[in-house]
Amino acid sequence: MIIIGLTGSIGMGKSTTAAMFAAAGIPVHDADAVVHHLYEGEAVELLESEFPGTTEAGKIDRAKLGNKVIGNSAAMKRLESIIHPLVHREEKKFLEAAKANGADIVVLDIPLLLETEGDKRVDVVVVVTATQEEQRKRVLSRKGMSEEKFNAILAQQVPDHEKRKRANFVIDTTSGMESARNQVRKIIETLRSDHTQN
In which residue ranges of the chain is pLDDT below 50? Answer: none
Phi/psi of residue 112, each to 5°?
Answer: -105, 45
Are 110 and 185 in the same domain? yes
Q: Are strands 105-109 and 2-7 parallel, antiparallel or unpaired?
A: parallel
pLDDT of residue 148: 87
pLDDT of residue 153: 86
**What percent of the chain is predicted at pLDDT more than 70?**
98
**What is the C-alpha to C-alpha distance for residues 30 and 41, in angstroms, rounded to an integer?**
17
Q: Are strands 55-56 and 59-60 parallel, antiparallel or unpaired?
A: antiparallel
pLDDT of residue 156: 81
| pLDDT tens digits for range 14-31 | 999 999 999 999 999 999
pLDDT of residue 197: 64
Give the single-character DSSP code of 123.
Answer: S
CATH number assigned to the domain comprising residue 43: 3.40.50.300
Are 73 and 108 in the same domain? no
Q: Are 79 and 70 in contact (CB under 8 A)?
A: no
| Structural domain span for residue 85 | 32-102
Are 81 and 177 in the same domain? no
Of 76, 102, 128, which one is at a domain's C-terminal end? 102
**What is the C-alpha to C-alpha distance for residues 139 and 133, in angstroms, rounded to an integer?**
10
| pLDDT tens digits for range 56-77 | 899 999 889 988 888 788 998 8
Of 82, 102, 122, which one is at a domain's C-terminal end? 102
How would DSSP label each residue in 11-67? Answer: TSSHHHHHHHHHHTT--EEEHHHHHHHHHTTTTHHHHHHHSTT-EETTEE-HHHHHH
Are 95 and 81 in the same domain? yes
Of 83, 102, 121, which one is at a domain's C-terminal end? 102
Are 128 and 181 in the same domain? yes
Q: How many Cβ atoms from other residues are within 10 Å of residue 174's Cβ?
A: 14
pLDDT of residue 144: 84
Are 116 and 19 in the same domain? yes
Q: Are 119 and 113 in contact (CB under 8 A)?
A: yes
Are 78 and 153 in the same domain? no
Are 23 and 80 in the same domain? no
Number of domains in the chain: 2
Are 145 and 182 in the same domain? yes
Are 37 and 118 in the same domain? no
pLDDT of residue 198: 58
